[in-house]
Amino acid sequence: MKVSVILAHPDPASFNHAIAQATITALKKGGLEVMYHDLYQERFDAILPSGEIPKDVVLPPEIAAHCQEASEADGFVIIHPNWWGMPPAILTGWVDRVMRPGIAYEFLEGDTGEGVPNGLLKAKSVIVFNTSNTETERERTVFLDPLETIWKNCIFDLCGVRHFHRRMFNVIVTSTREQRENWLKEVEETVASIFNETCMQHNR
């Protein structure tokens, strides 16, 4: 079982990096293969060139490698802070370039792109870990929690990944060390329970 872990945060000392490390620890403990990308560290180029938009084109090797991993992944863990109700641009660029037609979704025969796409990812489960400085109630009532819709509906459900789990850790700026330590334990427990369960279903 292979799990793709995608992190988007520019600061190696950030809580997001700590979440990524806790995720990797839990996956490795469970004997899962980890495909890890720290997008800032690898300086992922988030700009989708127009030549890459058509379905059947030859991709640059680094994008082809990302696409190959996305196709092979049995699960995904996406980790990022809430920036203006969106993922950081480097991560939306990763979605633009990697979650591409023929890899993540396709339109059925006779559909020129206006219909409901068919998801192609083989992954069964995805976890999205977010951090923010907004209270949950305010995020839901004032901002309508856009990250939930983006990741659950617009991206993973469309690409065929049905088991979706998202956790927003908040409020980071006022959190205590003890609270952050407990959150990291929660990350490990969540990853272990979701991917062990998926592993078991997979092996049945």
Ligand X SMILES: Cc1cc2nc3c(=O)[nH]c(=O)nc-3n(C[C@H](O)[C@H](O)[C@H](O)COP(=O)(O)O)c2cc1C
Query: Would you tell me which residues interact with ligand X (CB under 6 A)?
Result: 9, 14-16, 81-85, 131-134, 172
**Could you tell me which residues are beta bridge partners of residue 119?**
105
What SS3 class is residue 65? helix
Smaller CB distance to ligand X: residue 4 or 82?
Answer: 82
Query: Measured between alpha carbons, how far is 98 from 48 in angstroms, rounded to an integer?
Result: 10
Smallest gap, in angstroms, from Cβ of residue 20 to ligand X?
10
Smaller CB distance to ligand X: residue 67 or 79?
Answer: 79
Smaller CB distance to ligand X: residue 163 or 180?
Answer: 180
**Pairing mode, strands 2-7 and 75-81:** parallel
Smallest gap, in angstroms, from Cβ of residue 154 to ligand X?
18
Smallest gap, in angstroms, from Cβ of residue 89 to ligand X?
9
- Angle value at C-alpha 133, between 194 and 157, nearest 5 degrees: 40
Smallest gap, in angstroms, from Cβ of residue 171 to ligand X?
8
Pair of tokens at residue 39: 């997008």
- Taking residue 105's Cβ as centre, other Cβ atoms within 10 Å add up to 18
Smaller CB distance to ligand X: residue 75 or 81?
Answer: 81
